[in-house]
A and B are shown apart, each in its own frame.
Chain A
Amino acid sequence: MQGTLDMMILRTLQWGPQHGHGIGVAIRASSEDVLQVEHGSLYPALHRLHKEGWIESEWRLSEHNQRARFYRLTAKGRRRLVAEESRWNRMVEAIRRVMRPAED
């Protein structure tokens, strides 16, 4: 779903700067491998978010002393994440109501 990957990236970056591989590993781990994203597809998304100004990047050394590009959430990105999450929650709520109307 368009925007889902964006949200997951932004959410991952909430815990601090991370490089592309790290983000991919985090998404896999937190979804307990349910969401099988092709790792490559992270990059177009990362670069799009970067262009929108929601994340920024810098080159730093990784935990294994290799040069890596670390992404970090910007203030704008934080606002965006809040908006995305509330939109997401509304949608999940709506879907839940449709799926289980009896509980209401």
Chain B
Amino acid sequence: MKFFDWASRRARSDRELEEEMRFHLNAETRLREDRGEPPEVARRNARRDFGNYVAVEEATRDMWGWNWLERAVQDVRLALRMLRKNPTFTALALAALALGIGGTTAMFSIVDSVLLKPLPFPHPSRLAMIWELPPHSSHHNVVQTQNFLDWRARNRSFEDVAAMFQFPFNLDESGEPVQLPGLRVTAGFFQILGTRPLLGRTIELQDDVPDTPWVAVLSYELWQRSFGGRRNIIGEKIAGPGNPFEVIGVMPPGFGVPAVPRVDVYIPMRIRPAEAVQDGRNYKVIARLRPGVSLAAAQQDMESISAQTADERPDIDALWSATVVPLMEQTVGDTRTILLVLLGAVFFVLLIACANVSNLLLMRASARRHEISVRIALGAGRWRLLHQLLTESLLLAGAGGSLGFLLAWVGVPALLHILPANFPLPRIAEIRVDGGVLVFSMLLSCACALIFGAFPALQLDRARVGEGLRQGGRPGSATNRRVHGTLVVTEVAMAMLLVVGAGLMLRSFMLLDAVNPGFRPERLLTFRMVLVPSDWKTFDELLAQRATLVAQMLKRIRTLPQVTSASSISFLPLSGSQSGSGYYRADRPAPRPGMLSGGDVSVVSDGYFRTMGIPILAGREFTEYDRAAPEVAILNETAARKNFPGENPVGKRMRVDWTGPAEVEIVGVAADTHHGSMDTAPDPCLFLPQSQRPAGWASLVVRIADDRGVIEAVKQQMHAVAPHQGIEEVQTMDSVLNDSLARPHLDAVIFAVFGGIALILACVGIYAVVSYSVAQRTREMGIRLALGATPTSILRHVLREGLVLCGGGIIIGLAAAAALTRYLASLLYAISPMDPLVCMGVTLLLGACGLAGCYFPARHATRVDPAAVLHEQ
């Protein structure tokens, strides 16, 4: 209100002054006319006597006195006028700032949501995950069932401990059966996290008992998607795998364990204590620390319990230990490195943008040097001028910052939208460009204004009045050029650093992308699922069903005209899952407990290697005749080399701990494939036939000749054999492969974008400074030409000046890269952080860009017309 009062008072005063002065001129004119002057002359003389009308108006206004607000408004007006007067300058500066601030804001919003904000649970710092540690290893291993039970019973550090097991939940509600991401949990899981259900209740002790009716808790998303968000869903039975499941609760939107992929259905674990000791290692374990118990104390507690279990069950636990990992750390994991590196990178982009704007401002400031000197001579206070310069910087930064924030506000959700649903970035659903981020970007803008406003302000101090006036508006001193030069060298150095980083990431990704997975992924369809046997009494019956289900499906699918061949594997390569077991030569004594032997185990159907295009190096692959004895197995190359160095394993026998020790005959050796990830060496793997050792997990792999209607046809054949069998996901093997590289791909792309922006900004910087320098020295060039310098020598002269700056920047940038790229080391595949190829390539690239940035202004310099220049002076 005060402001409006003041504004209306101001407006009235302005009007009255205007009227007062007009009255004066009229009265004077009348007086002169009365004396006999002709009207025209009278009016002219009245004006002459009055003096400079506008100056009087200004001077009178000054007498009214200014408060800080009026001064600020005046400064803003002046700044706006200056910005409008130089649209090219303004557009360049705004674009640079918007990109810099926008990029930094976007990265900050991701870092803030993923790394900084606490997990969305009560007292999140007390949540932890507990893993087993294999002998002499720091690899986090899933937990054996009996060990979990002992941990839960014996620990003194945790309020509660719960086990989780991911599995696809077969839902046959309406239409086509589907397999949803499910999680089996022991009672206490929901209580540990502390999230209340949206509807109904969660899984409690009485639900986690074997041989009682099954219950399920649904995710909000599934409830909305498949059950229309009906509130009366509670108490209803849904058609789960083999049994009806009573829905007892619905969780709120977005609920999930951050370290576990998306889950739609939670059901009780129902461990049978009597059988627990025979189980393998399957479970992920989550726990809540008691208040006041430190992580170190809990770790010690777990280590002493592990020592006990190792004593009690040396056959499975000898030398195994346990480790407690805070849930936040588990969630964020190695994402922290790349996110911080990217934030650092985009921050450098921002600094380059600031240097650019600073340079542009400086050039303008020196162009205005004469004006400023005059104003100082006329008594304008230095503070006042400083204020005006800072106002202009703040205005630029404010506008650039707003644009940047908008960029982030629109860009981040858009980017998240185009990422695949299962994109491996933790807490991706929690990423928000919110009020906190807005505050960050505004503070960042102010900081930018101070950074790029500082140089022109410091120059102001040098603007000695006399000098400025003497130069008569001809700006461009040696000091000035030195400051410009320093800024450009800094810019080029930072761009060099970023482009080296981007180059490393890109080359690393290209190498990774070029890695041969060991199979031919093209024209290969995958159907991911877990088998749903219908009716079975004994475990042997279940196994028999698993074998026949898959065999019958494959038999039918292979008859399809579009299909070349088909087979199955327990866990698809590069899908993130694998099972393992101990195995060793049957002709040697069994390894001592705690000595790790064996490795991965995959259960595959006949024709797997042919379907996948994996070469068989020795022996044969599984056939449909591998049914009864003898039990057979195939080794991959690594397992063969490890267990039979220098020997041919074909025909030899091994013992496999898979489910109780059994002897198998090795019938073949297959070439290595990447199963876990593309960036690690293949693990040793033993293949068992689905017909002899049927696994419950069986994904179909189908090589196709023709993709028309093939997915529907395969599903039809599957459902003819098993009508309730749902499928978790149908994917081409190419896209499985691409998904496994999605993160390094996106990281490299984002880094490349930052590097590209940095490169462009640096080029603009070089171009602007060299053009400016040429423009400043038009007279010098003219004289040189007049004295007989050839255009070529002028060109060389200007180019040399630009390239010296550029070269300095490149050398400093390389030194900085040498110091900083080691933070990239853990993100790089197969190259060192100072990869010579990347460093050389980037040096050439920057050199070329620098040359281009200098060449155009340099050529301009050669076209100076000496006569015109000399005449001007």
Contact = CB atoms under 8 A, between A and B. Distances in A.
Interface of A: 19-22, 24-25, 38-41, 43-44, 46-48, 51, 59, 62, 64, 66-69
Interface in B5-44: 16-17, 19-21, 23-24, 26-28, 30-31
Contacts of A24: 24, 28
B90 to A, nearest CB: 35
Given A38-B49, A38-B50, A43 B26 contact: no
Given A51-B63, A62-B27, 17 more contacts: A20-B20, A21-B27, A21-B28, A24-B28, A38-B49, A39-B49, A39-B50, A43-B20, A43-B24, A47-B17, A47-B60, A51-B64, A51-B65, A66-B23, A68-B23, A69-B16, A69-B19
B850 to A, nearest CB: 55
A68 B65 CA distance: 23
Contacts of B64: 47, 51
B576 interface: no
A72 B260 CA distance: 86
A44 B30 contact: no
Q: Is the interface of B mostly helix, strand, loop or mixed?
A: helix
Nearest to B56: A40
Contact of A62 (B23, B52, B62, B65): B23
Nearest to A63: B27
B243 to A, nearest CB: 92
Nearest to A47: B63
Given A38-B51, A69-B16, A44 B60 contact: yes
Interface residues of B, number: 25
B59 interface: yes
Contacts of B536: none
A22 B65 CA distance: 26
Contacts of A48: 63
11 contacts: A21-B31, A25-B31, A38-B49, A38-B51, A39-B50, A48-B63, A66-B23, A66-B26, A67-B19, A69-B16, A69-B20
A41 B56 contact: yes
Contact of B63 (A39, A44, A67, A69): A44
Contacts of A59: 16
Nearest to B31: A25
B53 interface: yes
A41 B62 CA distance: 13
Interface of B: 16-17, 19-21, 23-24, 26-28, 30-31, 49-53, 55-56, 59-60, 62-65
A39 B28 contact: yes
Nearest to B30: A64
Contacts of A62: 23, 27
Given A21-B27, A67-B19, A69-B16, A44 B62 contact: yes
A24 B26 CA distance: 14
A5 to B, nearest CB: 13
B23 A69 contact: yes
A9 to B, nearest CB: 13
Contacts of B62: 44
Given A38-B50, A48-B63, A51-B64, A43 B23 contact: no
A103 to B, nearest CB: 39
Which of A19, A39, A46 has most chain B Cβ within 10 Å? A39
Contacts of B50: 38-40
A64 B24 CA distance: 12
B23 to A, nearest CB: 5
A64 B27 CA distance: 9
A41 B27 CA distance: 16
Contacts of B19: 67, 69
